[in-house]
Amino acid sequence: METVVSGIRPTGRLHLGNYFGAMKNFLQMQETHNCFFFIADYHSLTTHPNPGDLRASVRKVLSEYLACGLDPDKCTLYVQSDLPETAELYLLLNMHAYAGELERSTTFKEKIRKQPDNINAGLLTYPVLMASDILIHRADKVPVGKDQEQHLEMTRTFGNRFNRMYREGFFPEPVAFNFGKKLVKVPGLDGSGKMGKSEGAGNAIFLSEDDASVKKKVMRAVTDAGPEKPNQEKPEVIENLFTLLKLVSTEETVKHFDDKYNDCSIRYGDMKKQLAEDMIRFIRPLSEQIRDTAADIKHIDRVIDLGREKARESAGKTMQEVRSLLGFRP
Ligand code: AMP
């Protein structure tokens, strides 16, 4: 069975973009692959979070993933900092990662621009830590978005470099991976192309959001003055609403409003009301499950313990061989 590794940011709550863009993929993968999903709390140190906040958000994120259906018996769900093996591999790989190639990374350049007062070495070597997360389980596949392609390329570079120096074929070459057909890009409600937690306040619908708040956001979604002639092409903001409708409503409902758009009789207020209703129907069971799961801290901590045990078994095997290949005591 092929091995998949994916990191999860320990910040924010899951929104519909995360659900349809990533979670659905994870739910399928856990059925067919040997999956390691980890909460990337080492990575988050580059922004110096408050320790209490970090601990709480790790639990929060984990409870949302469990509530969505990730099953700790089917996959390995762990906290990155529970695996000292990752930190050790990171140290070793750093000796073969060159400053020049790290400085050329586009995300590093972006970070320099975004946080000029905190350009720490962790930011520079971020791709090495990411490579360690992947190589520590000798992963074959990594579900990544376009923005992470360059990091994955660097992971292959570091893995291959190690192989050439110490043992050919030791680390597999991990490739980018999405399950089945192309994943949807979920649009935001404020007319911006993408739903995201760092966009404006009304842009994202969170899975833990209550009914009234979902309704308020959807009713405020950006629209235009309406179609002027039959069958005209939809402008982006309207297309976005239809994309959302397709995710949570029945085909019949979508067709109903599509027909109304095409014969120019559409009333956006009606469409948004329907969208809000269907979104609430979709989200409510998830938000209830999130609430229940988050309340059971003992269960979450048991999941974390189980994850650590499984992840360390896999990582321990890799590190034993790596240490011996490098000439250290196993
Ligand atoms: P982020 O919230 O940016 O950390 O993203 C976590 C995961 O959700 C990544 O796999 C993203 O590609 C995915 N994701 C985030 N926002 C969207 C969106 N609006 N549409 C589709 N996928 C998304």
The rounded distance, in Å, linking the Cα atoms of 136 and 233 is 49
Same domain, 138 and 38: yes
- For ligand 1, say whether the CB of 21 is within 6 Å of any of its atoms: yes
CB contact at 8 A, 159 and 135: yes
Q: Per the domain annotation, does 191 fall within a domain?
A: no
The pLDDT of residue 180 is: 61
Same domain, 316 and 170: yes
CATH number of the domain encompassing residue 241: 1.10.240.10
The pLDDT of residue 11 is: 84
Same domain, 11 and 99: yes
The pLDDT of residue 197 is: 81
The pLDDT of residue 76 is: 98
Q: Per the domain annotation, does 189 fall within a domain?
A: no
Same domain, 85 and 110: yes
Rg of the chain, C-alpha, whole Å: 22
Q: Which amino acid is at 261?
A: Y
Q: Per the domain annotation, does 115 fall within a domain?
A: yes
Same domain, 50 and 180: yes
Q: Confirm whether 197 is a catalytic residue.
A: yes
Same domain, 251 and 315: no
Query: Locate tokens 């529970």: which residue?
Result: 82
Query: Locate tokens 């093996």: which residue?
Result: 85
Please, which contacts does 321-330 make with residues 24 or more away whose CB atoms are closer than 8 Å? 321/170, 322/89, 322/92, 325/166, 325/167, 325/170, 326/92, 326/166
Overall pTM > 0.95? no
Same domain, 302 and 159: yes
The rounded distance, in Å, linking the Cα atoms of 150 and 135 is 16
The catalytically annotated residue of 24, 74, 197, 310 is 197
Same domain, 284 and 303: no
Q: Which of 5, 18, 179, 184 to mutate to test the pocket of ligand 1 (most atoms within 8 A of CB)?
A: 18
Q: Per the domain annotation, does 47 fall within a domain?
A: yes
Same domain, 85 and 202: no
User: Measuring from atom 4 of ligand 1, which residue has the nearest CA?
Assistant: 9
Q: Confirm whether 260 is a catalytic residue.
A: no
| Phi, then psi, of 159 in degrees rounded to 5 | -65, -45
Same domain, 316 and 261: no
The pLDDT of residue 182 is: 64
Same domain, 35 and 110: yes
Same domain, 145 and 251: no
Chain centroid to Cα 270, Å, comes to 33
Q: Would you give per-residue pLDDT tens digits along the chain (330 residues)?
A: 999 999 999 987 899 999 998 899 999 999 999 999 999 999 999 989 899 999 999 999 999 999 999 999 999 999 999 999 999 999 999 999 999 999 999 989 999 999 999 999 999 999 999 999 999 999 999 998 767 788 999 999 999 999 999 999 999 999 998 766 666 789 999 887 889 887 777 899 999 999 999 999 999 999 999 999 999 999 999 999 999 999 999 999 999 999 999 999 999 999 999 999 999 999 999 999 999 999 999 999 999 999 999 999 999 999 999 999 999 987
The pLDDT of residue 201 is: 78
Q: Confirm whether 246 is a catalytic residue.
A: no
CATH number of the domain encompassing residue 65: 3.40.50.620
- For ligand 1, say whether the CB of 195 is within 6 Å of any of its atoms: yes
- For ligand 1, say whether the CB of 145 is within 6 Å of any of its atoms: yes
Q: Per the domain annotation, does 204 fall within a domain?
A: yes
Q: Per the domain annotation, does 190 fall within a domain?
A: no
The pLDDT of residue 178 is: 75
Counted domains in the chain: 2
Give the residue numbers spanning the domain of 283.
Answer: 197-291
The pLDDT of residue 200 is: 76
Q: Per the domain annotation, does 14 fall within a domain?
A: yes
Q: Per the domain annotation, does 192 fall within a domain?
A: no
Other beta carbons within 10 Å of 169: 7
- For ligand 1, say whether the CB of 240 is within 6 Å of any of its atoms: no
